[in-house]
Amino acid sequence: MCVEPRTGAVLTGRGTASDGYRVSGARIESNLRCNYCGVESRIKSNRAIHEEFLRQAAHLFTPVPLVCSTPDCVSDPANLPGAFRRFGRSAAGALRFQCRTCRATFSVAGPTSRQRRTRANAPIFRHLVNKSPLNRIVELCGVSFPTLYDKIAFIHRQCALFAASREARLPEMDLGRRHLSTDRQDYIVNWGSRANRKTIQLTAVATADRQSGYLLAFSPNFDASLDQEAVEAAWQQAGDADKPPALRDTARVWTKADYEVSLARAAARAVPLLPARTGDQVEASFRTRDDLDAPEAMVEGQQLPSRGVQIHADYLVHGHFHVLRHLLRSTAHLSFALDEDSGLLAACMGAFGNRVLDGSAEVVQVRIDKELSIDGRRRELADRRKGFAALRAALPVPRPWTVGDDLVREEQRDATEVVARMVRDLRDRSPEPVRKLQRTWVGNPVPDPAEPRKHWRYVSDATHLSDNEVAYLLRMSTLAPVDKAFAMLRRRVAMFERPVSSVRRARRSWQIYAAYDPRMVGLLLEIFRVWHNWLWRSPKDGKTAAERLGLAQGTVREDHILGYDLRVAIERLWERQAAAE
C-alpha cells in the first residue's frame, strides 16, 4: 500500500486530470494505480465503509433510552433536563419520566425486568465460556431451549452495555505507545434444513493489544439487523445490477446476484495446487486464505444466511480499522502487526494513512508458516537456535556471563542487535532511494516456537527510525496476542470448536457443536470478548486485560456485568448535563 502523501480527491472517471492515481482494470473490478510507486488497490465505497463502521461501533453509540411514548412528539431525547423531568418510580421500582412537551409519562425498567429465573444468568454465562455445548447447558441449568436463547441475548446485551460504558473513555485516553496485532478467523454455521445441505462460512477480524492482551474489537461479517429480502428489494430499486461494485447502494452486503456470479466464477476457475516448500524460502507464500482486498468467493457447498445478511469481508476489515481509529484517536503512537493479507493492509492504511505519514503510526506485515507440523516446528526451532548462536557470537562486543532474568535480558538485547545488523545490511544493499525496507521481507533470526519461519515487512519504512529502533519495532511485531485469543476462543466456547476437517473442506460437513443460526456467532463473540477483557485473569500476574490497559482499577465480577443498570448511566448523564447548565 502506498504511503506517499497525496493531494486532491480521487476522481471517479477516467479523464485526463491527474490526482496521483489512475483507474485501471475492468469496469467491474477497477483498481486505483498509484503513479508514484505503481501499487494498485481496489476501489471501495466510502458510504459502505461508514455503514460498516456504524454497525460494528453501534454499542459505543447506544442512545439514551428516553423516548416519549406519544407518536410524533417533537421532544429532543438528547436534552435530558430540558425535554423530560423525573416523575418518581413505578410500583416495580422502574424510573418514571414525564415529557415536558406533551406531559406523557413512561418508565425505564431495570436490566432483569420480566425475567423469572434471574439466578440462572450467572451459571449460563460461566458455562458459555467454559466449553459447555448448549444442550449440556440446558441439562445443567434446568432451563428450556427458548429460555436459554433468551438468556444468551440478555447476557450479550449486558456485556455490550457494560463494555460500552467503559470503552467510551478510550477515545479520550492517551495510552502511550501501543503494539497491536490484527488477524482473522473463519467459522462454520451448520445448515438448518436437510433440503439444502450447504454451510455458511463467516469471518471475524480481531485486534489485540500486545502489552495488555485487551481485545479492542471482534466482529463477524454478519448483520442481524437487516433482512435479505429487503436488501434484494433495495438492489432492484437502486439499479445496482448496472453499477460497478464500489458504486452500488448495497456494496457491503452479499446479494443473491453476487452469490450466483461467485458460484459461476468458482466453477469456471480451476484451483491451482500450492507449490512445495523446502527450507526457508522467503519467496514462498505461507498464506492459503483468500485475499481480503478482493471480494471473497463463494463456491458450491456454501450458502447465504436465511436470516440476516452476510457482509463482504473486504468491507468488514475496513469497518474494523475505522472502529480502531475511533477508539485510539488520542493514543500517542500505534504500531500495527498485520497478517500477510493485502486486504488487512489496505484497510489499515485507509484508516491510519495520515498517522503513518506523520510518524505516529507504524505498520508491519508478519508472515509465518501456520501449517508447519509439530515435527517441522521442532526441526525449525533447532536450526534457528544454531543459527542465532552463530550470529550472536559474531557480535563485536563480548557479553559477560549472566544468569536468571539478567540472562533473558541479555538474550533479548543481543536479539535486537542481530536484527539491527540485518536491517542495516538490507538498507545498504537496497537500490531504492527512499523507504528501502518497504518491499523487503526480513527473516526473524531469533528462535520462536510459536511463530516458525517468521518474516517481517516494514510497510511504513521511513528515515525517522534508526536501525536499532526498526529492529525493536520488528521484534515487537507479532501475531501471538490475537492468535492466543483465537485459540482461547476455540478452547473455551464449544460453538467455535475447530472442525475435524479444515474450514475449506468443511463446506459440506456437518459440525456437531457449530451454530445453526448465524446470529449466535456475533452474540457469543461479544460475550467472549467481554469475558476475556474483564473477567479472565492471567496466571502470570493475576490481572485482567482491562486492568493492564487502565480501564479497570480493581476486580470486576460477573454481577457487575450482568447487573449493569442503564438507569445509573441515565442518572449520571442527567446530573452532568444539569450541572453544565
pLDDT digits (tens, 9 = 90+) for 390-446: 888 888 765 554 444 454 467 778 888 889 899 999 988 888 878 888 888 998 988
In angstroms, how far apart are the furthest CA atoms of the chain?
A: 83
At 11 the pLDDT is 43
Q: Are 498 and 491 in contact (CB under 8 A)?
A: no
In tens digits, the chain (581 residues) has pLDDT values of: 444 433 334 444 444 445 667 777 666 667 777 766 667 778 888 999 999 999 999 888 766 667 776 777 766 655 666 677 777 777 766 778 888 788 888 777 777 777 788 889 999 999 999 999 999 999 999 999 999 999 999 999 999 999 998 998 999 999 999 999 999 999 988 887 777 788 888 999 999 999 999 999 999 999 999 999 999 999 999 998 888 888 889 999 999 988 888 888 877 764 444 344 333 443 333 344 555 666 677 777 888 888 899 999 999 999 999 999 999 999 999 999 999 887 899 999 999 999 999 999 999 999 998 888 888 888 888 988 888 888 888 887 655 544 444 544 677 788 888 898 999 999 888 888 788 888 889 989 888 888 888 999 999 988 788 888 999 999 999 999 999 999 999 999 999 987 665 455 545 566 788 888 899 999 999 999 999 999 999 998 999 999 999 999 888 999 999 988 877 777 666 666 666 65
Closest of 114, 193, 213 to residue 539, by C-alpha: 213
Alpha helix positions (H), 284-373: 313-327, 342-357
- Phi, psi dihedral angles at 518 (to 5 degrees): -60, -20
At 76 the pLDDT is 62
At 295 the pLDDT is 65
Sign of CA dihedral 419, 424, 426, 432: positive
40-69 burial code (b ≥16 CB/10 A, e <16): bbbbbbeebbebbbebbbebbeeeeebebe
- Look at the block and give the residue holding cell 458504486: 247
CA distance 212 to 202: 27
CA distance 156 to 165: 14
CA 391 to chain centre: 37
At 281 the pLDDT is 40
Domain ranges of the chain: 1-43, 46-62+118-268+284-368+479-581
CA distance 194 to 191: 7
CA distance 102 to 125: 42
Residue 179: CB atoms within 10 Å: 20
Region for 367 from its dihedrals, namely left if φ exceeds 0, alpha if ψ lies in -120 to 50, beta otherwise: beta
Residue type, 478: T
Would you call 239 exposed, middle or buried from its count of C-beta atoms within 10 A (0-12, 13-18, 19+)? exposed
Report the SS3 class of residue 6. coil
DSSP assignment of 95-107 equals EEEEETTT--EEE
CA distance 542 to 547: 10
